[in-house]
Chains A and B, each alone.
Chain A
Amino acid sequence: MSAAKLAAALVRCASPVEGGGIAPPPSGPSPPRPTWPSGWPPPTSTALFPPCRRMPLRQYVAGDVTAGLQVAANLIAANLGTRVIVVNAGGFDTRQPGHHHRALLADLGGGIARFQQAVAKSGQAARVLLVTTSEFGRRARENGSGTDHGNGGTHLVVGPGVKGSIVGTPNLAKLDPQGDVAASIDVRSLYAVALSWLGGPVDEVLGRSWDTYGVLR
């Protein structure tokens, strides 16, 4: 018995659910790969040590965003009832020399643009909104080679549902006491935008209503 078959068998054994199966395990014969719009890069390698990582906070894996959005676009096209997809990318803790902010943003920008093309091609674009999140922005004044932890961050909201505007300002003339961009828009306002897109409930999830700054149409 192959390891993969055995794994499936033993999961059935342990399961009180009749006929419970298991998602294709990563070993054994390769299951069919997702079909994918041409022009996308191949999926990120699962190599033990992908070639280009430097950052402490979840090492930068070349193409985290692109590879994740690739799976996301497939999930959306597959009629599975998926409403929320989180793509976890790492490596944005760019405080030291030789950091890869340029490559990270290339992955981000390229990944988002290709994702929009893919969902448009599968006729799904009108129902999708993409939002970026990150734990904080970085110190306004560089440390010579990178930037230390900061405060207010800049986020993108993408899709046919947005107005296409810039909201808020990283007021460099009025930094906070630590020398960081002030947090002038609460994270819950960004979430209120996202939750309104989903049809709510916003107040129940966020405790009360929050200004959505007219981000959506």
Chain B
Amino acid sequence: MTTSDRSAIAWLHRRVGFGLAPGELDRLEELGVDAVVDRLVDPDRHGAAPRRDPWQGLRFSQVPTQGTNYRAESVAAIGAWMDHLSSTGRPTESWLTWFWHNHFPTAVAKVRLAGLMVTQLRLFQRAGSGSFAALLRGVTVDPAMLVWLDGRENTKATPNENYGREVMELFALGVGHYTEADVKACAAALSGWKLAPGATTASRFVPAQHDARPQRLLGRTVTDVDSVVATLVAQPACPVHIAGAFQDAILGTADAGLTADLARRFRASNLSVRTLLRATIEAGLARLDGPPSARPDVVVAPAPWLAAARRATGGTVSRQDGARHLLAAGQIPMNPPNVGGWPGGPAWLSTSTTVARANLAAAIAATTKDSSPVLRAAASGDDARLADLLCRPEGFRRATRNALADARRAGGRPGVAALAVALASPTSRWPDMTDERDLDLSRRSFVGLAAGGALAGAAAWAGLVESAVAAGAEATAAGKVATDRVLVVVQEGGGNDGLNTVVPITGRYHDLRPTLGLADSSLVRLTGETGYGLHPSLKPLAALWGAKQLSIVQGVGYPDNSRSHFQALDSWWSATPGRAATTGWLGRWLDATSTGADPLRAVSIGGGNPALRAARSPSTAIVDPAGFSLAAPPG
């Protein structure tokens, strides 16, 4: 069977756009797939609406501010962007802006000036489909990036490796394509960039703080930002790295043969992003006609999902509510968790994010007007029409149709419950699953990050949690005292400075740490111990040491540490350094000891933790401890 133009166009707008409003699919179908692809990929030459600035009319502070200005400006900037994504007339240009935001992830939480974030996003909007070399050069000296990865602190006198490392590891090449010496060389050549005084839109080069000595980077000689960028984009690994990122984002696959083909075309075009984008889209369209197993699958992230839901329904949420739900779902635009971007994929199927998605779907459905075609279809029971309006002309799968039938019996304003189900349903849009068997809980294998894979998984999880809570209350009431041992793991994300935590009392320490070193006299003394003292902030632990309830283990690591956060985290969570693994050390313990039906046996607080990834055992992730409530038993 050949995929219809209508299905193909809908797929394009799900994958490299933000959905469609009622009526849009009809008009685009008249254009035909080829014309639609042209318009998406090259909007100016194919009659798309002119570019709009999402932040037009907003004013941003020029200097860092604390408290309300910063917060209010950030909320306004994020809200304006979300409004734009749900109404853009240039969907793929907007999608590329979003893609680059996740490729060069920068967070306003550290940048502290919404205006700098907007400047960076405008760069992505303007230059996101042109030459990758130009984009990389732009982002390397972008003011928000100079703050985010400490480029502005990187000077001849005090080199800072942060950007020099991440530009190679995450942005341009991928781990394994450079050495530690390359990191140092790259950082040195990029030193001397600062924010222009008083302006939020510009950076400047300060020659006096630049290390002008020629550096040897990846076999070439570099001295400045231009020679660094030229060297990076000339590496064979560069087009492969970027092509892999496009394939992952658009197709949800990691097919090495396809990556090689895309990379070859990307390279032949002198790294034209538009060429790579078109090639990836065409590969996706070709696969739509293939067997189901070859059909591209991705899990749509919360913010793009919200934009598409708003576009289809005309429903909305207040900026504060939207922000709250997105926080619970784990994705605030302009605030990625770290330089690796949002975890993506199965991470969006965890219990916490599933609950948040249900809440958001309910909020959107509740604000959808009775006159909306989507709500009318939901109320009338016309599932085929509802699916088409939600950018799924191929219709819903059986599990969703069954859920919709149930929802129509739920009462309330006609169509609202069914619309919420359709928006949030695992077989509808987020996640965009193709295999109905995924809903069969008896076959589902839980993974640590995703205790459940869908609403159904969340409900089953919630049922098991309810049983566990009830059993716990009963046991407590009966006076039973648990005796099983408990392990609590505190993950200090980012790499804790051990030498300034438990401080060696030696002159050598002060030689290495002339400014950060803690004076011996300031250290918290450990009774009976003369070689070490605790950081003054750790004073509360002194009593535990005195009671012999604190042990300290030093020099903990693993062989061949690459100094990459992500590779190091992989080694730590899997406990199989140097070897890829699908399970974490705690997940394997669960698999060895759990019944498979006790999701509270292991709980991760403050987000999921891959150490809990198991082959068959559920666990529970709590993204936001303050939003999670579990009443302790009385007394």
Given known pairs A185-B554, A187-B572, the reply for A43 and B600 (CB within 8 Å) is: no
Question: Which residues from 43 to 59 on chain A have a C-beta closer than 8 Å to any C-beta of chain B?
Answer: 43-46, 48-49, 51, 53-59
- Taking a contact as CB atoms closer than 8 A, the residue among B416, B565, B611 that contacts A86 in the complex is B611
Question: Which residues from 89 to 142 on chain B have a C-beta closer than 8 Å to any C-beta of chain A?
Answer: 107-110
Question: What is the CA–CA distance of A71 and B556 in the complex, to the nearest angstrom?
Answer: 28
Question: What is the CA–CA distance of A80 and B632 in the complex, to the nearest angstrom?
Answer: 10
Whether, in the assembled complex, B475 has its beta carbon less than 8 Å from a beta carbon of chain A, the answer is yes
Question: Which residues from 83 to 124 on chain A have a C-beta closer than 8 Å to any C-beta of chain B?
Answer: 83-97, 101-106, 108-116, 123-124
Question: What is the CA–CA distance of A160 and B480 in the complex, to the nearest angstrom?
Answer: 22
Bin chain B's interface residue count.
35 or more
B548 touches A163 (CB 8 A): yes
Question: What is the CA–CA distance of A131 and B74 in the complex, to the nearest angstrom?
Answer: 37
From residue A117, how far is it (CB to closest CB) to chain B in Å?
10
Contact stretch, chosen from B55-63, B262-270, B272-280, B452-460: B452-460
**A105 contacts across to B, CB distance below 8 A:** 501, 535, 537-538
Whether, in the assembled complex, B80 has its beta carbon less than 8 Å from a beta carbon of chain A, the answer is no
Please, which residue of chain B has its CB at the minimum distance from the CB of A148?
B161
A94 touches B441 (CB 8 A): no
Number of A-B contacts (CB under 8 A): 633
- Taking a contact as CB atoms closer than 8 A, the residue among A86, A108, A114 that contacts B538 in the complex is A108
Question: What is the CA–CA distance of A12 and B460 in the complex, to the nearest angstrom?
Answer: 9
Contact stretch, chosen from B46-54, B212-220, B354-362: B354-362
From residue B454, how far is it (CB to closest CB) to chain A in Å?
8
A108 touches B492 (CB 8 A): yes
User: Beta-carbon contacts of B484-528 to A below 8 Å, as 1s and 0s?
Assistant: 111111111111111111101010110011111100000000000
A13 touches B554 (CB 8 A): no
B585 touches A191 (CB 8 A): yes
Whether, in the assembled complex, A79 has its beta carbon less than 8 Å from a beta carbon of chain B, the answer is yes
**B469 contacts across to A, CB distance below 8 A:** 78, 80
Question: Which residues from 21 to 67 on chain A have a C-beta closer than 8 Å to any C-beta of chain B?
Answer: 21-27, 30-36, 43-46, 48-49, 51, 53-59, 64-65, 67
B586 touches A166 (CB 8 A): no
B601 touches A87 (CB 8 A): no
Whether, in the assembled complex, B576 has its beta carbon less than 8 Å from a beta carbon of chain A, the answer is yes
Whether, in the assembled complex, B86 has its beta carbon less than 8 Å from a beta carbon of chain A, the answer is no
Question: What is the CA–CA distance of A75 and B628 in the complex, to the nearest angstrom?
Answer: 12
B180 touches A49 (CB 8 A): no
Question: Which residues from 152 to 201 on chain A have a C-beta closer than 8 Å to any C-beta of chain B?
Answer: 152-160, 162-173, 178, 181-191, 193-195, 197-199, 201
Question: What is the CA–CA distance of A183 and B562 in the complex, to the nearest angstrom?
Answer: 12
Please, which residue of chain A has its CB at the minimum distance from the CB of B338?
A57
Given known pairs A14-B456, A43-B626, A183-B557, the reply for A56 and B549 (CB within 8 Å) is: no
Question: What is the CA–CA distance of A82 and B348 in the complex, to the nearest angstrom?
Answer: 24
A21 touches B463 (CB 8 A): yes
- Taking a contact as CB atoms closer than 8 A, the residue among A16, A88, A167 that contacts B605 in the complex is A88
Whether, in the assembled complex, B629 has its beta carbon less than 8 Å from a beta carbon of chain A, the answer is yes
**B358 contacts across to A, CB distance below 8 A:** 7, 10-11, 22, 25
Whether, in the assembled complex, B35 has its beta carbon less than 8 Å from a beta carbon of chain A, the answer is no
Please, which residue of chain A has its CB at the minimum distance from the CB of B411?
A1
A166 touches B551 (CB 8 A): yes
Given known pairs A6-B412, A83-B602, the reply for A143 and B158 (CB within 8 Å) is: yes
A164 touches B606 (CB 8 A): no
**B321 contacts across to A, CB distance below 8 A:** 27
Whether, in the assembled complex, B23 has its beta carbon less than 8 Å from a beta carbon of chain A, the answer is no
Whether, in the assembled complex, B162 has its beta carbon less than 8 Å from a beta carbon of chain A, the answer is yes
B472 touches A133 (CB 8 A): no
From residue A110, how far is it (CB to closest CB) to chain B in Å?
5
7 contacts between A and B (CB under 8 A): A16-B460, A33-B631, A81-B472, A84-B586, A149-B495, A152-B555, A184-B557
8 tightest A-B contacts by CB? A183-B557, A154-B498, A164-B548, A144-B158, A93-B494, A15-B459, A113-B540, A92-B494
Additional pairs, 4, CB under 8 Å, beyond known A92-B495, A103-B537, A142-B517: A19-B463, A67-B606, A86-B603, A127-B483
